[in-house]
């Protein structure tokens, strides 16, 4: 006699998925076309067919704790071939967005990041923090003196670090708590579904698997396996490596400033400056290509969470490069204003990282490592 299972649908979860861009999930009639055409779906327990029925039934716990939803790169092959227009790729994207909010704390902030009505508030938070803290400490000077344009004369480097260093610690803590829950959940889920016979997660084995998947991530090789949206690989690579380059630049200049006491602005002939400029240009071009590709895909669902991130990344790149260009051109007022705007974009991207779509980079990396660890 077959085992009996008690199914308790979470209707609120279904509504959330619909609101996040998965409004076509009820069109699925389990033909399995999506699982057949998916280039990265494994032979045993393939997806996204099982995820589509679980979403339709409102099985929140079965989906949010499932590492498989992160293996999907939303290439669009399944959505294009679906005979019912159920768009499995978009549904999985919506589930991932929900999962990000589920693992990030506090929950109200995650909801605010995904609410277009809260955008003015999110942009206003850093403005208030910068001005209030700057005036209290005296590290913000609205009328910097001197012929040389130096952004640190307007917005002190000490003020930048006074704000962003504690912010980095807070983001690390939020991510740390979410990642701990996420790893435990996907392992327990794998044990229950028989995907692994290891009842206890082996940390050393998992870390080895993480190192093993890094080349795949660095090369974005999974994108090349997709047919419908293969052109997304170039744009994603440009944005990925531009962030990596800017991260390296930031850390180098941090050491140069506080260890060697060498203050900016730095020469344009400096190799680190070259890396910064190349990364900045790549960020603008890559994000612009992403926007172009998304606008061209009229049959692909684009929700607010997508446009919020794309707008933030493009704004970050443009404000950063324009800040430097106006400084070199001698336009002090414009350069100081653009620098302030740039810091607002940096704050939004950084502070709300665990709650935005960009958090998929962390969770997908962990899920890919776990799939490698479990021989998925």
Q: For residues 347 and 305, what is the distance between their CA atoms, to the nearest angstrom?
A: 17
What average pLDDT does range 327-351 have in this prediction? 93
What average pLDDT does range 103-127 have in this prediction? 90
Q: For residues 103 and 204, what is the distance between their CA atoms, to the nearest angstrom?
A: 24
The pTM assigned to this predicted structure is 0.86
What average pLDDT does range 92-113 have in this prediction? 89
Q: Do 237 and 207 meet the contact criterion of CB atoms below 8 Å apart? A: no
- Please say if the pLDDT value at position 198 is more than 80: no
pLDDT digits (tens, 9 = 90+) for 289-325: 999 988 887 766 678 888 899 999 999 999 999 999 9
Q: How far is CA 263 from CA 41, 222, 290, 293, 322, in A?
A: 52, 42, 36, 41, 21
The region of weakest confidence among 30-39, 47-56, 213-222 is 213-222
pLDDT digits (tens, 9 = 90+) for 142-160: 888 777 888 888 999 899 9
- Please say if the pLDDT value at position 197 is more than 90: no
- Please say if the pLDDT value at position 1 is more than 50: no
Higher local confidence (pLDDT), 100 or 219:
100
What is the per-residue pLDDT for 122? 93
Structural domains in the chain plus CATH codes: 11-103 (1.10.1060.10), 107-373 (no CATH)
Higher local confidence (pLDDT), 275 or 111:
275
């Amino acid at each position: 006699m077959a085992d009996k299972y008690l199914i308790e649908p979470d209707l609120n979860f279904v509504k959330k998925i619909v609101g996040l861009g998965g409004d076509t999930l009820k069109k699925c009639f389990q033909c399995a076309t999506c699982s057949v055409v998916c280039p990265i779906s494994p032979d045993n327990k393939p997806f996204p067919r099982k995820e589509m029925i679980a979403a339709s039934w409102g099985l929140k716990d079965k989906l949010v704790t499932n590492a498989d939803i992160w293996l999907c790169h939303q290439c669009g092959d399944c959505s294009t071939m679906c005979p019912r227009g159920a768009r499995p790729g978009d549904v999985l994207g919506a589930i991932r967005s929900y999962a990000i909010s589920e693992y990030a704390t506090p929950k109200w902030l995650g909801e605010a990041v995904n609410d277009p009505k809260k955008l003015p508030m999110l942009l206003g938070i850093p403005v208030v923090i910068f001005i209030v803290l700057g005036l209290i400490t005296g590290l913000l000077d609205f009328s910097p003196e001197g012929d040389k344009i130096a952004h640190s004369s307007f917005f002190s480097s000490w003020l930048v670090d006074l704000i962003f260093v504690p912010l980095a610690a807070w983001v690390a803590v939020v991510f740390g708590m979410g990642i701990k829950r996420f790893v435990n959940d996907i392992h327990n889920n794998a044990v229950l579904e028989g995907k692994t016979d290891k009842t206890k997660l082996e940390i050393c084995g998992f870390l080895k698997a993480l190192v093993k998947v890094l080349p795949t991530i660095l090369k974005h090789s999974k994108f090349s396996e997709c047919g419908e949206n293969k052109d997304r690989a170039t744009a994603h690579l440009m944005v990925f490596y531009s962030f990596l380059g800017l991260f390296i630049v930031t850390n180098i200049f941090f050491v140069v400033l506080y260890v060697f006491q060498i203050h900016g602005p730095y020469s344009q002939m400096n190799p680190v400056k070259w890396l910064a400029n190349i990364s900045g240009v790549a960020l603008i071009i890559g994000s612009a290509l992403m926007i172009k590709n998304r606008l061209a895909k009229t049959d692909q669902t684009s929700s607010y969470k997508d446009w919020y991130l794309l707008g933030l990344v493009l704004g970050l790149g443009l404000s950063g490069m324009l800040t430097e260009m106006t400084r070199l051109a001698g336009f002090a007022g414009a350069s100081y204003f653009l620098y302030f705007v740039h810091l607002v974009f940096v704050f939004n991207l950084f502070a709300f990282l665990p709650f935005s779509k960009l958090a998929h980079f962390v969770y997908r990396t962990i899920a890919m490592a776990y799939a490698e660890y479990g021989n998925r």
